[in-house]
Amino acid sequence: MLYSLRFAAAFLLLAAPVQAQTPRFQPAPPLEQGHSHNDYWRPHPLTDALQLGFKSVEADIFLVDSTLQVGHERAALNPARTLQSLYLDPLRQLRAGGQLYTRPAELWLFVDFKTAGPATYAQLRRVLGQYRDLLITPRQAPPGGVRVILTGGYPRPEVLADPDRLVFLDGQLTDLQPQLAASIPTVNGDWQQSFRWDGTGKIPAPEAARLTQLSQQAVKNGQKVRFWNLPASTAAQRQAVWRELLHYPGLLVGADELQELKQVMNGQ
């Protein structure tokens, strides 16, 4: 009987769900060019990137009833994984305990619209209103605050016409203009549509010149340029592309492999 009880107890311990503990937060020096693509895929969304010093993270949102659920596709959504639970609430807790980085620096939270723009924006506006004290907005810029930048299918005219706008916009390469920088601090483009170089050998001189021109214009405007769909067939390819892009201070460099990108940054 005693043996049976001990066996049952051991079985229950083994069968009990094991939850990954969130490591204690340790701020890092900010990395000006680091962008965490699809950040919600990390074992610890937000904090894995922050503890490496990444200043930019990206979350895809779907409007489901009245919730903003985070995920790459609708089939993968979980009602417990919302913009608030994965990002806004943790950010409030971290800011209450101090700075996000070892020196004052803002975080860019890219919010990628995956559902109908106007309805999703209306709900996002309601949600962000509860976190106004954390946010950098067109009317306030608290030191070490969070700048929410909309990307994807957001309703641009409606957002820009909002008199109490709490967000900024991610534009297209054609929005790389000084008069737009206050509302559109970042622009994005598909690498494959603008460049042929895939990380093999040396980047062609005309393409390097194009990157130089884009970076210089971005720095002059106070904007950043972010390319997606980067070559990533092999680790060697993606690392070669990262090393090249890191030469241009006006560029954000996005990755899914955060530790790998941080190592490349450390080696620059």
Could you read off the pLDDT of 90-116 as tens digits, one per residue? Answer: 999 999 989 999 999 999 999 999 999
Q: Are the C-beta atoms of residues 117 and 153 closer than 8 Å to each other?
A: yes
Q: Which fold has domain 29-166?
A: TIM Barrel (3.20.20)
- Mean pLDDT for 219-224 is 98
pLDDT at 258: 97
DSSP letter (8 states) at residue 175: G
Partner residues linked to 169 by β-bridges = 150
Q: Beta strand 146-152 with 67-70: parallel, antiparallel or unpaired? A: unpaired
Return the structure tokens found at 73: 């596709």
CA distances from 72 to 3, 100, 115 (A): 48, 26, 12
pLDDT tens-digit map of 8-67 = 333 333 333 333 455 689 999 999 999 999 999 999 999 999 999 999 999 999 999 999
Q: Where are the alpha helices (DSSP H) in 44-97?
A: 47-50, 83, 89-97
Return the structure tokens found at 29: 């020096």
pLDDT at 24: 84
| 192 Cβ contact list (under 8 Å, min separation 6) | 229
Return the structure tokens found at 100: 């996000």
Q: Does the pLDDT of residue 2 top 70, yes or no? A: no
- Mean pLDDT for 130-138 is 97
**Band of the pLDDT at 268, cuts 50, 70, 90?**
confident
Q: Beta strand 186-190 with 224-228: parallel, antiparallel or unpaired? A: parallel
Residue whose token pair is 């994005």: 188
Q: Are the C-beta atoms of residues 136 and 92 closer than 8 Å to each other?
A: no
Nearest to 114 by CA among 144, 86, 79, 154: 154
Say how far residue 70 (Cα) sits from the centre of its chain.
Answer: 12
pLDDT at 4: 38
Say how far residue 6 (Cα) sits from the centre of its chain.
Answer: 48
Model's pTM, two decimal places?
0.90
Q: Where do the CATH 3.20.20.190 domains begin and end in the chain? A: 29-166
